[in-house]
Structure 1
Amino acid sequence: MMYYTCKYTPLEILAGFDVETQRLDPHPDTVDCANGCTHPNLCGFGKAIIETIHTQNIKEVILTDCCDVMRRIYDVLLTFEDLDFVYFLPLPHKGGKLEVDLYEQRIKDFIQAYQAYSHKTFDINKAIQAYLAQPEQPEREDPYTRLTGAHGGSLLLEKIKDTFPTVQVIDDTCSGNRYVEKEEVNAENFLHVYANHILNQRKPCMRMLHTKDRNKDEHPVGTIYHTMKFCDYYGFEYMNMKEDVNMPLLKIETDATPQSSGQLKTRLDAFAETLGVKNNKPAK
């Protein structure tokens, strides 16, 4: 099982090795291990990833440099003797021709590295099958609400769904809503086409330079904007969205641990009441 954190991870390439993948969804109760092997100022999400990998005895990890914290996590993981395979995949910041060529080569480098480690042969036809078999993005169904911004995780998403049981909840965070555009490909052009579409996803990460249309054509009943403590990437976007007086907006900040769940529920309930969305979920 290969664990990953970022939606720019080439999951379909791993399918070419018959490797199952699982997105890391860290929400540890404590970060004692991470506190002992990282700088105190490392963000909560970074510490939560390290803690989860350590406590769950994870063996294979692939990271991308969606932010500098991932580089620091990689440095720490290199010291973990229990890890069998840890790979750092650098991402271009743009999706132009030169960047696509560069990312295609980096995907090829990863294929070679995993072949050398696993002694498996990469089957490009299986990778193509996985690419074409991706599920389609969910259609927006009015009314709907969005969770956007930085990685929120399953616990936060479930809290929002519990608060808004009568409307659709869309995960538009940096780690959710992954969709790589599909087109007909063959073994000769697949890696280039794939590199292009994975870099130019419809909902780009804020570290990318083509982010101006991230919120285009969105008309939710309300938007919940999540930021991670000590992370500035998404704070800038939040300030721009805040200027839109026609967009009901709630900002929440977490540190990737469940410690503030009570306060979080109170704020979500208040936001739902402001929007006039009643919680009609049957009592247990």
Structure 2
Amino acid sequence: MTRRGRPRHGDAQAMSEQDKQQQAHTLAGAPKMGWLCSYTPLEILLAAGFQPVRITGHTGAVQKADGLMHPNMCQFVRACLDAAVDGAYSTFEGAVFVNSCDAMRRLADAWRKYTDAKFVHMIDLPKGAGDADAAYLRNEFDKLRRALESAFGIDVTDPVIKQAVKLYNTSRSLYHEMNALRTDAPPRVSGREAWNMAGLFNNTPPAVWNQALKALLEQKRADAPPSVLARPRVILAGSPAHNPEFAGFVEDCGLDVVFEDMCTGSRFFDVSVGNAADPLLDLARGYLEKPPCARMMSMDKRAEAMIDRARAMGARGVVHHALKFCDTVLYDAPELKRRLEAAGLRTLFLEGDGTLGSMGQLKTRIQAFAEVLGGDL
């Protein structure tokens, strides 16, 4: 972020000393900008001087939001609005949405109407990953940059965006190092620990998070391998799960969670952003080329990526959890399950509302699935 009057574009432009100081990226006390979808370009938000913080709602019963939007929207969307109208995000400067589903579009409408957010922006995400799609998304990312500049009187320069890309690429590299420790048998990093690190990422400045993960990696590499009996290894998949106990809950049922193919797990970290002349085009290509979610309607790529990841992590099964009324994931589930099981991956499909009470009702099914997988060891 720079003051008005500085040139915004050009790879040859050197970063000023002011830019370098601003983009130390510790962002202690920086204004917060909310985000929800893993296709949100956090690099642009960071380059604009904000601390990106994920909006996660809550895991309790929805109270006020059911009177403000249709109750057949998924629990996650309603819980986010519920928390917002209760003031949970009143200190945020605004929120950035992606048209990931109809419920998310309605949430953006409700956010504009029922909150005092200074800035609400919607990114139109294409479904493909070709050159035309990347060019379209690059234009959407530029619209976000210009909207931030207009709303807050700032300039978001290419060099500063590149510095943010570099920082987040470090975050992604460290996350992959952590996942490499989960290939051990038993895993050196538990599913609960990995889930907690992903949750910490949502509300921590990236430079601070990087240091925290480096410390965890140093500790795990120095520790003796866990001396426990082998347990069935699974990956988690499905709808966003913002319950902080989700992965630990599954592990407490007798499974080792070795990967999370979810928006609240690996999806942000599976982005690979290059360093060419146009950072916005690099971002667009990186976000579109990551393993797709159900919203992208790319079953072949989605199933192939999940099967490859399960094999790489030594997983024997998949726990696929869908939120009630999460249409994209529910539409995707039957064919995805067929393909996973055809590849030799036993699959448990669960449906719930994401609350702690809902998870408790699923405990018996997960324990039974663990027994079935255990018999295959």
| Length-normalised TM-score, structure 1 | 0.87
Structure-1 separation of matches of 2:33 and 2:296: 25
Which region of structure 1 is more displaced relative to structure 2, 130-139 or 38-47?
A: 130-139
| Higher RCO (C-alpha under 8 Å, 6+ residues apart) | 1
CA drift at 1:168? 4.3
5+ unaligned residues in a row in structure 1: which ranges?
Answer: 278-284
Structure-1 separation of matches of 2:292 and 2:287: 10
Residue correspondences, number: 273
Equivalent of 1:229, from 324, 327, 331?
Answer: 324
| Length-normalised TM-score, structure 2 | 0.67
Change (3 A) 1:38 1:19: same
CA drift at 1:142? 5.4
Are 1:54 and 2:144 counterparts?
A: no
Per-residue CA deviations over 1:6-38 (Å, capped at 9, x if unaligned) read 110000111111211122223342211111111
Structure-2 separation of matches of 1:105 and 1:184: 18
The one-letter code matched in structure 2 to 1:131 is V
Structure-1 separation of matches of 2:252 and 2:282: 39
The one-letter code matched in structure 2 to 1:206 is A
1:114-153 equivalence runs, <5 A: 114-133=148-167, 134=169, 135-136=172-173, 137=176, 138-139=179-180, 141=183, 144-153=233-242
Report which of the two has the higher share of helix: 2
- Corresponding residue SS for 2:274: coil
5+ unaligned residues in a row in structure 2: which ranges?
Answer: 1-31, 186-232
- Corresponding residue SS for 1:30: coil
1:262-281 equivalence runs, <5 A: 262-276=360-374
The structure with more radius of gyration: 2
Are 1:33 and 2:64 counterparts?
A: yes
2:333 aligns with 238
1:33-182 equivalence runs, <5 A: 33-55=64-86, 56-58=88-90, 59=92, 60-133=94-167, 134=169, 135-136=172-173, 137=176, 138-139=179-180, 141=183, 144-153=233-242, 154-164=244-254, 167-177=256-266, 178=268, 179-182=270-273
- Corresponding residue SS for 1:147: strand
Structure-1 separation of matches of 2:360 and 2:111: 32
Are 1:253 and 2:351 counterparts?
A: yes
Q: Percent identity of the aligned residues? A: 29
